Amino acid sequence: MQTTPQRSQLFVASCLALLVTSLSFGIRAGILSRLGVQFNLDASELGTIAATAFWGFPLAVVIGGIVVDIIGMKRLLLVAFVFHLAGILLTIFAGGYWTLFISTLCVGIANGTVEAACNPLVATIYSDNKTTKLNHFHLWFPGGIVIGTLVVFFLDKMGIGWQWQVGLMIIPTILYGFLFSKLDFPVTERVASGVTTGEMYKAVFLSPLFYCMIILMFGTAITELFTGQWIDVLLKNVSDNAILLLTIETGIMVIGRGFAGPVVHKLSPTGVLLISAILAAAGLYLLGHSSGNMLFVGAIVFGMGVCYFWPTMLGFVSENLPKTGAVGMNFMGGAGMFAVSVYTIFMGGYYDKLVADKMLPGVTPDDAKKLAGPEVLNATLIIPIILTVAFAILFFYMRGKKNTNSSTASAA
C-alpha cells in the first residue's frame, strides 16, 4: 500500500463525488414521471432520456480508464466537476426533450468520470482491503439515492418544484470540486507496482475470466440500476408510495455495504455474489407479483440482493485480475452502464406497447399502466435467475482453483 498522508481526505472527497452521482439517479427517478407530464413525453422518450445518463457513463468511464494513468486522477475528477455543474444547470433550465437529453448526457459523463477516477483511487489507497473499501465507497451510491428520493418526497409535499430539487445537487458538487483541487493524489496501484501498459492490456484482452465477468456485469447492472431507475414509473399505479419503495431498497443497500467487511470475509466474493443473485430474483418476483404492504417486503429482499453486486464485481476483478488495473475496473463499470442504457430504451418501448395492448374498451390509462408495470419487472426477472446459475458455477470454479493453488503451495 502506498504511503498516502491524505488518504482519509481523498476517501471523503471521493464519497462526496459519488454522492452527487447517486443524487442524480435518485432525484431523476423521483421526477421522471413529472417531466413526462410537463414536457408531454411518452414512456419511450422518457426511457431514452433516462438511458442517456447510462450512455454518457460508459463513454466517460472507458475513456477515463484509458487516460487516467496518463493525465492523473486529479485532472480527471476536475473534468467530472465541470460536467456535473453543467449538467445540473442545464437540467434546471431545461425546456423540453432535447435540453433534457443534453443535460442528462452531461450528468452521465460526469458520473462515469467520477467512477473512472475514484474506483482505482480507492483500490490504490486501500490496496490491502480492496473489496471491503470499495463496498464502503459504493454505499454512497444507494445512500445518495435514499437522500434524493426523500428530498423529492418531502419537497413535493411542501409544494417545492423539481427545479429546486435538482438545484440542491450543486452544494455537494462545489464541495467535492474544492476538496479535490486542494489534495495531492498518488499514482494508481498498477503504475506503482511496475506493471507495464502492455501487460495491463494483455491481462484485459487475453483473459477468459475477464470476459466472463464483463458478461456477468451486464446482468448485475441491469438488475440493480434499471429496476431502481424505473420503479416509480412502473409501480406508480400499483402503490401510492412507489418512490418510497426505492428509498427502502436503497436504504437496505446502504446498511449492507456498511457491513461489507465481515460479510465478504465470511462468504468470499463469489459466495456473496451467488447469494445476492438468489435474493435479487426473489425480491424482483415479489415486486412483480405483489400489491400493498408486500411490495415493501419485496423492496427489502431486492435491496438485500443487489446490495453487493456492483462493488463486489469490481473488487473481484481488482483482486483476482490485478494486472488489468484501472482499465479493467473501468471497462467493467462501462459495460454495466452500457447494458443498462440499451435495456432501458428497449423496455421503455416495451412498456408503451404493453400499455397500448391493454387499452381495451372500458380500461382506463391508469388501469393499463397498473397491469403493464409489473409485467416489465417479471420480464426482467429472468436476468437474476440466469445470474444465480452463473455465479454458482463461478463459486465452485474459484473454490477449486483455490484448492489447487493451496495443494501446489503445500507440495512446494
What is the tens place of the pLDDT at every residue in 44-97? 788 788 778 777 888 888 888 888 888 889 999 999 999 999 999 998 998 888
CA–CA separation, 82 and 76 (whole Å): 10
Q: Which residues contact 330 (CB under 8 A, 6 or more apart)?
A: 61, 62, 64, 65, 66, 68, 115, 116, 119, 120
CA–CA separation, 395 and 399 (whole Å): 6
Amino acid type, 268: S
pLDDT value for 5: 59
pLDDT value for 237: 66
Q: What residue ranges define each of the domains in the chain, with the CATH number in brackets?
A: 7-401 (1.20.1250.20)
Q: Per-residue pLDDT for 153 more than 60?
A: yes
How much of the chain exceeds pLDDT 70, in percent? 95
CA–CA separation, 311 and 91 (whole Å): 29
Among candidate residues 168, 158, 125, 137, the one with its CA nearest the CA of residue 28: 168
pLDDT in tens, 301-333: 999 999 999 999 998 998 899 899 888 988 998
pLDDT value for 70: 85
Confidence of residue 379 (pLDDT cuts 50, 70, 90): very high
Residue 119: half-sphere exposure toward Cβ, Cα within 13 Å: 33
Q: Which residues contact 388 (CB under 8 A, 6 or more apart)?
A: 274, 277, 278, 281
Structural contact between residues 331 and 204, judged by C-beta atoms closer than 8 angstroms: yes
Structural contact between residues 190 and 326, judged by C-beta atoms closer than 8 angstroms: yes
Q: Which residues contact 226 (CB under 8 A, 6 or more apart)?
A: 340, 343, 344, 347, 380
Highest mean pLDDT among 13-17, 147-151, 263-267, 338-342: 13-17
pLDDT value for 37: 83
Structural contact between residues 340 and 322, judged by C-beta atoms closer than 8 angstroms: no
pLDDT value for 406: 60
CA–CA separation, 113 and 308 (whole Å): 22
What separation in angstroms does the CA of 65 have from each of 57, 76, 172, 316? 12, 10, 24, 17
CA–CA separation, 83 and 80 (whole Å): 5
DSSP letters of 45-77?
HHHHHHHHHHHHHHHHHHHHHHHHHHH-HHHHH
Among candidate residues 349, 343, 398, 393, the one with its CA nearest the CA of residue 372: 349
Look at the chain and count its residues. 412
Q: Per-residue pLDDT for 241 more than 80?
A: no
Say which residue the cell 456473496 belongs to. 272
pLDDT value for 409: 52
Q: For 388-402, what is the mean pLDDT?
A: 93
Q: Per-residue pLDDT for 412 more than 60?
A: no
Confidence of residue 145 (pLDDT cuts 50, 70, 90): confident
49's grid cell: 432520456
Among candidate residues 9, 4, 66, the one with its CA nearest the CA of residue 324: 66
The chain-wide mean pLDDT, for the chain, equals 87
pLDDT value for 176: 95
